[in-house]
Amino acid sequence: MQQSPILVIGKNGKTGSRVNQRLQALGYATRPVSRSTHPSFDWEKPATWRSAIEGTDTAYVTYQPDLAVPGAASTIKAFVRVAAEAGLQHIVLLSGRGEKGAERAEEIVKASGLSWNIVRASWFCQNFSESFVLEGILSGELVLPAGDIVEPFIDADDIADVVVAALTEPGHRNKLFEVTGPRALTFAQCVQEISGALGRPVKFRTVPIDVYINALDEQGVPGDLQWLLHELFTVVFDGRNCNVMPAVEEVLGRPATDFKTYVQKTIESGVWDTVRRESA
């Protein structure tokens, strides 16, 4: 079994928490880090990086808020340099499909001299239950600047399983895995499936991007998140990522999780239980 701990950057994230749990369940020592851990890790404070990395040789890297944001690639370049100096040998980077900034970061990791994996993911199913879309599901109406473009939403559990394989199985090294769900759906179709499974009405309404961003601004959503959502809905979410890819099955030997299965898991978790939330 591996001696040094596996570094997990983003311990509280959708995938970081899952990766950490899986590694520990398999008996691997881990070092999950964030701004609140000791040692801490903060993407905006490069002075925190080395102490978080030292003593590890393998790392799962998630960048916040997203590799699409301006300056992300230069930050990844600086991080890779520090990582190599601190003795890191293998990086598994979570990336996004169809994002130019993410592709620049990918190339930096590939050219780093370290062994690497890129896990390039489609939109997460968990956006409907652990992120900005949750409130709309609970309120009974999801409003987004998204029309009839389809997306093969991927379960974050599948991403975590692929990441763990990339971290722990040397035969996968120096490969890019483009991971998606097995079926491409519109947001309206996703909401329809959620509504049907819940047995209560949840509607979907599309609005122009400017109306959506103005609403975010009125709600006090931070400017960097506004920029990111504008980028995702106007640039990335244009149909370029509609194709289903086979990487989950290639790595894990099983099909990717279907959206229906994700919906059932989420219902069982109680996250969409409005009665429970109202009485809490």
Question: What's the whole-number average pLDDT of the chain?
Answer: 95
* For residue 165, pLDDT beyond 70: yes
Q: In the prediction, which pLDDT does 279 show?
A: 44
CATH number at residue 155: 3.40.50.720
Domain count across the chain: 1
Q: What is the 3-state secondary structure (H, E, C) of 67-109?
A: CCCCCHHHHHHHHHHHHHHCCCCEEEEEEECCCHHHHHHHHHH
Note whether residue 204 is domain-resident.
Answer: no
Note whether residue 228 is domain-resident.
Answer: no
How many CA atoms lie less than 13 Å away from 143 in the CB half-sphere? 11
Instruction: Dump pLDDT digits (tens) for 226-242.
Output: 999 999 898 888 899 99
Q: In the prediction, which pLDDT does 276 show?
A: 52
Note whether residue 223 is domain-resident.
Answer: no
Compute the average pLDDT of residues 75-103.
97
Instruction: Dump pLDDT digits (tens) for 207-230.
Output: 999 999 999 999 999 998 899 999
Question: Which residue type does 37 have?
Answer: T
Compute the average pLDDT of residues 156-170.
98
Instruction: Dump pLDDT digits (tens) for 20-29.
Output: 999 999 999 9
pLDDT above 90 coverage of the chain, percent: 90
* For residue 278, pLDDT beyond 60: no
Q: What is the 3-state secondary structure (H, E, C) of 1-70?
A: CCCCCEEEECCCCHHHHHHHHHHHHCCCCEEEECCCCCCCCCCCCHHHHHHHHCCCCEEEECCCCCCCCC
Note whether residue 267 is domain-resident.
Answer: yes
Compute the average pLDDT of residues 142-170.
96
Note whether residue 232 is domain-resident.
Answer: no
Note whether residue 227 is domain-resident.
Answer: no
Compute the average pLDDT of residues 189-214.
97
Q: How far apart are CA 189 and CA 159, in angstroms?
A: 22
Domain extent for 163: 6-185+239-279
Note whether residue 33 is domain-resident.
Answer: yes
Note whether residue 226 is domain-resident.
Answer: no
What is the value of pTM for the model shown? Answer: 0.95
Q: In the prediction, which pLDDT does 32 show?
A: 98
